[in-house]
Each structure stands twice: as structure tokens, then as C-alpha cells.
Amino acid sequence: MGPDEPQNQTTLTQPLAALREQTLQRLRNSLRLGQQSMADWQGGQLAVSAVPGAGKSTGMAVAAALAIARFQLHGKRQLVVVTFTRSAAASIKGKIRENLKDLRLPQNSFVVYTLHGLALNIATRHPDLSGLNLESATLVTPNQSHRLIRACVEQWIANNSRRYSMLLEGRQFDGEETERLRRQSVLKTEVLPSIAQIVIHEAKSSGLLPEDLWRLSQQTPDEYEILAIAAGLYEQYQNVSRSRNFIDYDDMILAALRVLENDAIRKLWQNQFFAVFEDEAQDSTPLQFKLLETLAANPNSPNLPLNLIRVGDPNQAINSTFTPADPVYFNQFCEACQITDRLATMDQAGRSTRIIIDAANYVLNWVNRSQLTGAEQAFRPQMIRPVNAGDPQKDANPNPVGRGLEIYTPRDIYHTVELIGERVVELLTQNPTHSAAVLVRENRQGTFVAQKLEYLKRNHGIEVYDVAGSDRHSHVPSEILAILQFLDRPHSPDYLKSALEVLVKRQLIPTQDLNALATFPEQFLYPGPLDPQQTTSVKQARKYCANLLRARLELPHHQLISFLALTLNYDQSDLATADKLTERIAKQTHGNSSMNSTLEALSEIVSSERFEPVETEDADSRYLRAGQLTVITMHKAKGLDWDYVFLPFLHEDTLPGSPWVPTAAQFLGDFTLAEVARAQIRASLHHKPLPMAMEAWDQAGHLKTAEEYRLLYVAMTRAKRLLWMSAADKGPFRWNTFSGHASDNLQAKKPCPVLPALKSQFPRSVVPLSALLN
């Protein structure tokens, strides 16, 4: 954070200018070499490529204060700092404020925004130009089951019978009626919604319109015309959102860009904003970059260089397989800046002990050499270096605890958690002021770890904080909605399927082919004597549904939600959320509490962004408490660090995993349509020839592999003093269907391929089980 030197002993007689000069020097000297390149910025464009733990935000906060002083910025000529999350925005804002206070410079000389916050601010100031009216619009993040996506899929089906029957036909089809209905269900509830969600977002964030997709679709002669399907869905999506007044996050950026098309207004903003500093630049989409570029331009001479600093680490790009952000763009920006000698690197980091840095560098090189990721390398070849002697960071590159890097091969996943428990007790008892975390690849693993380690609190006073568990109450409204929709229309295959999905997710009924059950709701719910015998799993599912339907008849309407919350086995905090939901709906439907009005109010709540949990600064510090064991996903751990980091379950089937076509959709071919369309769009954006379906699928696989290894790299670089890694010999077939009961069969598992390589490179880090017996 701030520098460690003692505060200046100032006297009122000392002239302000000299005092400020001293403070500027002190601030600059509090930075290490790489950070100083940012602090010495004299205008123009600068790319900063940094490694994990290099101190990007620390450097940027000082650079911002120095630029404000150097260019004498003020309320009408400000510096804009852009970060990726709200919590990062709050934290950097605090740091800049402190620095400005020391410098006695005006606090209104800068603003900090997230990209969307910035866009929203511009768009709402000029509603006439942006066409954005937040009073009447609802902000949505449509997932596959969102009613906006559903509506656009239904309309597309109604208007595109030829393309739809081609899909139904698939690779081959004998015309059998049950199979036709099953395929219809899969297309309507899985395949088409997934194309809509993934492809529309990809295209829209890259600045493409439906007509651009139509044009692209003419360049790919594939049998299903996947890009034409995507273009049609995109068109419907735009129509439906317009008519219902929904806007998504891309619309906010587009609205701001529309405002800035107006010459006078654009100049106004360009005058207001002297320069733009962007953090986490590897996560921006092309459309977001366009917004920053526009604002950073000189209002009077557009040909002058932009006043823009972009700081990022392409090796920590871990959102590219589910958002259109792609490390390629930031890498390209770095390369463009390098040509004019405007690329700085921050490759020294003080976070981790030496051996952890060595292990992370080793993984990076190993993956880049492995050719597992096709033509494109997963990582920018950028090594992390420890800091020099006398670095300003306190306890930089600390001494290791234990072996610094420890690699285990437990017998199975139960044994894994036992070993973690024992090690945590040892470590936190010896060093109660240190922090520890278990980083997992998926939430289900986190729940398992948290459950098995519950005893730590009871027996040793060590708090286990399960981040996913405490955030889960945000799922309550959508789960209740799915069940209520089914209760309202039990014979709708779509609603039945969604309700069954909730029951499976809550582990109330066994996992099974839900399309088969949902195809004939009547036959499933009320089987006649001539119908085929139901299997045990189907019977369990039916019994559950029948109970729900009975409750609908027997219970007064206002008790239904509380009943469902109990039935779904919610924990205390989920139950509290359900209660709040009931209250809110009662208020909204006051005087008209019918099933219809309840459903309407609930749909609004579920689709409205305002109900989503908000990230706050507090959340981060909650994850980092000393003496606590935090259980968190690798994705969420980005940007954070702990003294001890545990990475269990590093198995090949989840890390890197393999691209996978759901059994239900295999009638369409050995690829998923959404990923193929996405890879085709990506190729076109990068000015490459459009791949055919199978080649596109391979490319999608390479992208996923590359991203998974970057995720592992992010996870490893969260550790300061001890990095504990393991892949057990046995684990569950799939985590999302694993109940955690000892009766579930475990299978032999292969480790993530880089793990054996790490073991041979760091033999002293391999902890044999025999060493643990005493």
C-alpha cells in the first residue's frame, strides 16, 4: 500500500511547492522500477504488461496522483481511472485519495469507474442521444433460461421452419415420434438458448450487428448454417429487448458510443477527461476499448497520440471462454506500443516466496512448449522475477513455510480433505495471524471441502468461510420461480424440465435424462397401466413432483413460497432470503395476490439486475481474514492473495478438461453449435479464414485448454508462503452429480498433465504419504 517512510515533519512556513515536490519524490521512490515507468508518464499512449503480484494497482494509484500534479488537473479537467470490478474501483479510489491528500491537490481532479459505470454515466447524461432511459428500462444479464432468451428462441422457431427442421433432422433421423419430441425439447431449452446467449454476446461486444452476422454466414458452407441461425436469433433478441424495454451491459456501452458520435458532445467529454488509465486491460472487449480510445483522444487534434495507459496481465485472462474478452486484444495493444517504444513491463513481484514463483514460471513455459493449445500460445512468455534487495514492499518475497511448494498424491478425495485439515491446523496454530484458502475449480468441490472441514471450527476454533455457500441465496428467486411456473402449468414440457433441473441441482432427485421425462409430461406425472414401467429414478422424480402439485392445491397461496423453501432444503440464510422474497412479492402484488401476479412479480425480480448480489469492498476483506480458511473458486480468487493456498483435485478431466458435447445434443454432431459459431466469429474478427464446423470445434477446445491453464497459473500465484497442490488417485465421475456420500463410487483419476512434470522439476516438493504417518 502506502510507502513506509515516516511522514514529513512539515511546518507551516515551508512553501507549499517545495513540500509538494518532496512528497512527489517520496511517492515515486515508494515504487519499484517497473511501477516507476507508469509514474513517469508524460502523456501519450503506454502499455504496461505486468506479472501477478507486480503491484499494478499500487503503481497505478501513485501514477495517477503524479499525473494529476504534473498536469495540474482539476474538476473540469480530470483523470479517469477505469477498473474491472466495483471492489477494485473502491480500493484504488481510496489509495489515490490518500496520495492527493498528502500532495494537497484537489480531490475532484480524478474519477474512478468500472467500464459499465463510465458508459452509464455518459449515456444517462444525454438520454436524447443515447436513447437510454433507465427509468423505464430493465437491466438484464440474460442467461439461457432468461425469458428474453426464451422468447427470442420461440419466435425464431416460429419464423424459421426450414432451418429448424434441418436441426431436428440432425445427422440422421428415422422419424420416430418420441425421438422427435425429445429433440424438440433439447433444441428449445438447450441448443438454441445456448447459441443465443453465447453468440449474441460475442458478436455484440465486438461491435457486430445482426446484418454483419448474416454477411459472415454466407462465407461458411456448413450444413446447419449455424451463423445464419445465430444472426436470426440475434435479430429476434434485439426486437424482443426493444419491445420489452430490456437492456444488457453491451447496450450500455453502445449507448455511450452513440452519444460520443455527436461531435460537440464528444469534444465536451474529451475536454473534461484529460487522460484515461485502465487497469485489468486484458479483460476488456473490443467495444469497451473503443469507448476508452474515444475518450482518451485529443479533442482538437484527433491525430495526436491518445492519452491512455493500459495496464494488464494477459496471462491472467480467465474470462475469455464465457465473455468476448480475449487476451489477444491486449497482446496486440502491447505489440503496437512496442513498435514506438511505449511498452513497459512490470515483471518483478514481491508477493510469493521464490519456489512458488519458480513453479508458476515453470508451468507457463511447460504449457507454452506443450502444443496443447494449438497455434496460439496460452501465455505471453513473460517470467515473474523476485524483487531487488531494498524493495519498498514490506517482507517482499517472504521466506517459505514448510517446503514452500508441496505436492501430494492422496488416496482419494476424502483423504485429500483430511490432509488439508491437518495441515491447516498445524499452520494456523503456529501462525494465527496468517491467512489460508482452498481454491477450487467448481462450487461443488467447495461445498464438499467446507462440509468435511466443519470440525475445524468446533475442535480448533478455525473459521471455514465458504464463499459460494454464503453467496448462494442469490439463486433463491430463480429456483422458486422455476417451481412456481411448473405448478402453474404442469403440462408444459419446458416448465417441467426447469423444475426438474432445480430438484436435481438441490440433490433431491437423482440425475437422469430430464429431456426424456419432460417430453411427455402427462405420461411422466400420471402414468397409465399401458405405459412403460418407470425406473426407480423416474419414480422418485415423479413422487417429488406429485407432492409439489398436491401442496399447490392444499396450501393457501401466500404460504407457497415458504413451503417451497423448506422443501428445497434451504439453509438458514436461504430461508431468510425466501422470506424477504415473499414480503417483496406481497408488496408488489398488493390487493391482487393471484398465481399470475405472483409469477409476474417474481419474473421481474429474477430478470432485473438490481436483485443480483453486489460486490463490495467488504467482501474482499471478508475472504482474507487472518486465522480463517476461505473456500473459494479459482475464478473468484483473482486479484487476492493468502499466506497458504491449497489447490486440491487437480485432475485432468476438470483441469484442463475436454470440450464435451452433452449426450442429449449428440444427434446434431460431434460439436456444440454455439462454440462453433463463436470460433467462426472470432476467426473473422482476427481476420483469419472462417473455419468449418469440426475445425472450429478444435479451435474452441484449444481456447478452453489455454484458459484452464491460465486459471491454474492465477490460482498458483495467489500464494505467498506455501502452495499446496494435489491430485488424488480417486475421485468422483463428475463433481456436479456427486452427492458427497461415501456410498458414491469413486473412479481412478489422472492428474492434470503439468503436475507430473512439476514433480520431476521440484522433487523435494513431493511429499510422500509415508512422510505423513507420524
Of the pair 58, 194, the CB lying nearest ligand ATP is at 58
In the complex, minimum distance from the CB of residue 59 to ligand ATP, in angstroms, rounded to a whole number? 6
DSSP 190: I
Q: How many CA atoms lie within 13 A of 136 on its CB side?
A: 9
In the complex, minimum distance from the CB of residue 165 to ligand ATP, in angstroms, rounded to a whole number? 50
Distance from C-alpha of 67 to C-alpha of 273, rounded to nearest angstrom = 13
Distance from C-alpha of 365 to C-alpha of 36, rounded to nearest angstrom = 28
Q: Which helix (H) or strand (E) holds 46?
A: strand 45-50
CB atoms within 10 A of CB 333: 22
Distance from C-alpha of 147 to C-alpha of 495, rounded to nearest angstrom = 12
Of the pair 440, 716, the CB lying nearest ligand ATP is at 716
Q: In this chain, which residue has its C-beta nearest to ligand ATP?
A: 55
What type of residue is 692? M
Of the pair 350, 490, the CB lying nearest ligand ATP is at 350
CB atoms within 10 A of CB 343: 18
In the complex, minimum distance from the CB of residue 496 to ligand ATP, in angstroms, rounded to a whole number? 45
- Determine whether the annotation assigns residue 367 to a binding site: no
> Cα separations (Å) of 85 from 2, 277, 615?
22, 15, 8
> Cα separations (Å) of 1 from 4, 106, 117, 673?
9, 21, 25, 47
Cell matching residue 220: 461458411
Helices 192-205 and 226-244 cross at an angle (nearest 10°) of: 80
In the complex, minimum distance from the CB of residue 84 to ligand ATP, in angstroms, rounded to a whole number? 11
Binding site for ligand ATP (CB under 6 A): 1, 30-32, 35, 50, 52-58, 313, 316, 350-351, 392-393, 639, 717
- Determine whether the annotation assigns residue 204 to a binding site: no
In the complex, minimum distance from the CB of residue 432 to ligand ATP, in angstroms, rounded to a whole number? 20
| Residues 693 and 669 sit within 8 Å (Cβ to Cβ) | yes
In the complex, minimum distance from the CB of residue 750 to ligand ATP, in angstroms, rounded to a whole number? 29
In the complex, minimum distance from the CB of residue 405 to ligand ATP, in angstroms, rounded to a whole number? 17
What three-state secondary structure class fits 394? Answer: coil
- For 484, residues 6+ apart whose C-beta sits below 8 A from its C-beta are 560, 561, 564, 595, 598, 599, 602
Long-range contacts of 87-93 (CB under 8 A, 24+ apart): 87/615, 87/616, 87/617, 87/619, 87/620, 88/57, 88/279, 88/280, 88/639, 89/113, 89/114, 89/117, 90/616, 90/617, 91/57, 91/617, 91/620, 92/57, 92/60, 92/61, 92/64, 92/279
- For 469, residues 6+ apart whose C-beta sits below 8 A from its C-beta are 446, 447, 450, 571, 631
Alpha helix locations (H) across 507-648?
A: 514-519, 521-525, 536-554, 560-567, 572-588, 595-607, 617-623, 634-637
Of the pair 146, 718, the CB lying nearest ligand ATP is at 718
- Determine whether the annotation assigns residue 556 to a binding site: no
Alpha helix locations (H) across 126-248?
A: 127-130, 147-159, 161-169, 177-186, 192-205, 210-217, 226-244
Of the pair 3, 657, the CB lying nearest ligand ATP is at 3
- Determine whether the annotation assigns residue 255 to a binding site: no
Of the pair 286, 398, the CB lying nearest ligand ATP is at 398
| Residues 84 and 280 sit within 8 Å (Cβ to Cβ) | yes
CB atoms within 10 A of CB 273: 22
In the complex, minimum distance from the CB of residue 430 to ligand ATP, in angstroms, rounded to a whole number? 22
Distance from C-alpha of 307 to C-alpha of 699, rounded to nearest angstrom = 36
Whether the bond into 314 is cis, omega within 30 of 0: no
- For 246, residues 6+ apart whose C-beta sits below 8 A from its C-beta are 137, 138, 139, 140, 142, 148, 240, 607
What type of residue is 219? Q
- Determine whether the annotation assigns residue 50 to a binding site: yes
In the complex, minimum distance from the CB of residue 135 to ligand ATP, in angstroms, rounded to a whole number? 37
> Cα separations (Å) of 689 from 201, 220, 670, 685, 698?
21, 10, 22, 10, 15
- Determine whether the annotation assigns residue 56 to a binding site: yes
In the complex, minimum distance from the CB of residue 28 to ligand ATP, in angstroms, rounded to a whole number? 10
In the complex, minimum distance from the CB of residue 475 to ligand ATP, in angstroms, rounded to a whole number? 28
Q: How many CA atoms lie within 13 A of 659 on its CB side?
A: 22
Of the pair 57, 206, the CB lying nearest ligand ATP is at 57
| Residues 302 and 336 sit within 8 Å (Cβ to Cβ) | no
Distance from C-alpha of 702 to C-alpha of 658, rounded to nearest angstrom = 9
Of the pair 367, 637, the CB lying nearest ligand ATP is at 637
| Residues 279 and 82 sit within 8 Å (Cβ to Cβ) | yes
In the complex, minimum distance from the CB of residue 27 to ligand ATP, in angstroms, rounded to a whole number? 10
Distance from C-alpha of 722 to C-alpha of 661, rounded to nearest angstrom = 38
- Determine whether the annotation assigns residue 327 to a binding site: no
Of the pair 1, 549, the CB lying nearest ligand ATP is at 1
- For 104, residues 6+ apart whose C-beta sits below 8 A from its C-beta are 16, 19, 20
CB atoms within 10 A of CB 745: 8
Distance from C-alpha of 751 to C-alpha of 727, rounded to nearest angstrom = 5
In the complex, minimum distance from the CB of residue 174 to ligand ATP, in angstroms, rounded to a whole number? 55
In the complex, minimum distance from the CB of residue 689 to ligand ATP, in angstroms, rounded to a whole number? 35
- Determine whether the annotation assigns residue 704 to a binding site: no
Distance from C-alpha of 503 to C-alpha of 495, rounded to nearest angstrom = 12
In the complex, minimum distance from the CB of residue 644 to ligand ATP, in angstroms, rounded to a whole number? 16
Residue ranges of the annotated binding site for ATP are: 50-57
Residue ranges of the annotated binding site are: 50-57
